[in-house]
Structure 1
């Protein structure tokens, strides 16, 4: 059943207007409604943008890059708030620039997503009026662009890559807008620590290596060197940007490719490393798990190895049955488990 926030969103999308823009994030289903003529879409999730294009939407995949749009060029912006505060603040700031006087920013969200706070902040930023409507736990706020915009919200310099020292090695280039951007994921650190024993070979890895769901590239940067034939892929535009810059900064030769769980890649990888995005906002039992495993099965070369790290409650071994010749739990540390998957030669 469609949730109340999406019901409100659907009503706004059905009222197409000129000089409007729809901003989409991970919390929007691709099949929400057929395309509306003249309503462009910008989003940072590759699978969603691809699906929207297939339904006829004029959809652009980017890290919410709105720089080519002129100041005061829009009458309406529709946006269901994202899960991360810097993203929301950044897009509200962009709305203050892009909306013409008396133009409307329509914010939608659940009360638990902070929509009421974002609504108040957006009114201060846009300098106009605010109207709110409640439907169960869902809220719809209409903010108008006034004569004098307020001070910019703190978006943590959303567009800027910055070097962070996250471990004892060289700094990593990272930014808001990708999961775990300002820390080393504990699961990834566990996988990297155990990787030589898991594969029975020292680092760096040789042959064709895929970092599946690469984020800013932590696994690839630490498991590979300049001799590795490396490919990194992710669904998130911010992750791809950060990973590409990290590879260049460290002197690693590798491709960074936007893909839906690896669907767009050609097979033949000797090693696949994966810390899937099974955190808040992503399913653990259904489609996403199956997509990662099915693409791993397709992409892995005969005799190759796939090394996954997942939370203990993820039923990865059960779902891998029938897809791989060998399935082995290498280790667990009470929080994460390491699963080794391989095919016969």
Structure 2
């Protein structure tokens, strides 16, 4: 069993709030908390947008655990536990999605790390009822308790899709993104540098950590003979990529993968602006695993092209797997690296 987070340890001090409830849990799931709640609730549904979490706990939680960008369930719950995600807009999205699945006067329980915006619980819960009570504060985490006292509209995904455009070679590309997804509001500097220094691409190409689908849309427009595959761990990112590809009239296969868990066969090219943030901490393990195993997922002569913050020590990892590493662009903040499998 995984070590419990500070938030989960605090929640276990408040089990009476969950007793006999038909509970819906969502948000920043990090550990085995839902399993520990099972003995105290009448019914449990757990919703996650994190494919790694889904893979880790689907065997033990079974049909109680759902993965996706939108909760697919007709079950009505009388309590919601939202574990506060990093992005405020994602918390608003999850509340709006879950609220129509709740009965009138359902409990609204919002828990999170004190460094992560939990003190804004009043504003987050304001559209749903009166001011929530602060039930607990321990282990640098807090728990707020509100009640669903207001009517809520049906959830409509399109209302939560953000839009922006950027120009590529005289052509306008359209980006669609759900809350909390990387590059959701504008084209980030690193991705722009990578797009400007892409190699000539053809054949099977992997966009690892696809986010809003910015890289794949640009690649598919520039190189129509490429066969794009887009993977990410985040269901909101995957749906954003599907929307972005459709908006630009290009195609690609979009699917979840925890690093290489669901990827098969070698690629001619791997392209990535790899993630390195998780929760409130900087986290590199998944990206290091991605880079270490990249040669095994490329055909002979295939190449890996990534962009990374200049301070990240990725070059030694790449040298270990590929030998030679070429720095094809460096604007002092970001670097584009290219490696070829010998």
Question: Over residues 187-222 of structure 1, what are the superposed CA-to-partner deviations in whole Å (9 max), with x where a residue is unaligned?
Answer: 1110111223xxxx4xxx211111111112111111
Which of 26, 44, 49 aligns to 1:44? It is 49
Question: Over residues 148-188 of structure 1, what are the superposed CA-to-partner deviations in whole Å (9 max), with x where a residue is unaligned?
Answer: x1788xx9977543542234623222232312201102111
Are positions 1:209 and 2:211 aligned together? no
Whether the 8 Å CA contact 1:167–1:184 is kept in 2: the answer is no
Match of 1:305? 303
SS of the aligned residue for 2:198 comes to helix
Match of 1:166? 166
Whether the 8 Å CA contact 1:107–1:119 is kept in 2: the answer is no
Shift of residue 236 of structure 1? 1.2
Which of 255, 258, 267 aligns to 1:257? It is 255
TM-score by length of 2: 0.84
Residues 151 and 130 from structure 1, CA distance in 2 versus in 1: closer, same or farther, beyond 3 angstroms?
Answer: farther
Alignment map for 1:314-333 (pairs within 5 Å)? 314-333=312-331
Are positions 1:186 and 2:189 aligned together? yes
Residues 260 and 17 from structure 1, CA distance in 2 versus in 1: closer, same or farther, beyond 3 angstroms?
Answer: farther
Q: Distance in 2 between matches of 1:180 and 1:259?
A: 19
Q: Which structure 2 segments of 5+ residues have no match?
A: none
Residues 254 and 91 from structure 1, CA distance in 2 versus in 1: closer, same or farther, beyond 3 angstroms?
Answer: closer
Which of 68, 79, 88 aligns to 1:62? It is 68
Question: Over residues 78-137 of structure 1, what are the superposed CA-to-partner deviations in whole Å (9 max), with x where a residue is unaligned?
Answer: 111111122212333345433323321111112332212223541552247534321153
Q: Which structure 1 segments of 5+ residues have no match?
A: none
Whether the 8 Å CA contact 1:331–1:338 is kept in 2: the answer is yes
Question: Over residues 25-63 of structure 1, what are the superposed CA-to-partner deviations in whole Å (9 max), with x where a residue is unaligned?
Answer: 3xx324557463642210111111111213435211111
Whether the 8 Å CA contact 2:174–2:248 is kept in 1: the answer is no
Q: Distance in 1 between matches of 2:48 and 2:216?
A: 26
Are positions 1:112 and 2:115 aligned together? yes
Match of 1:29? 30
Which of 239, 263, 266 aligns to 2:264? It is 266
Shift of residue 342 of structure 1? 2.0
Shift of residue 304 of structure 1? 0.5
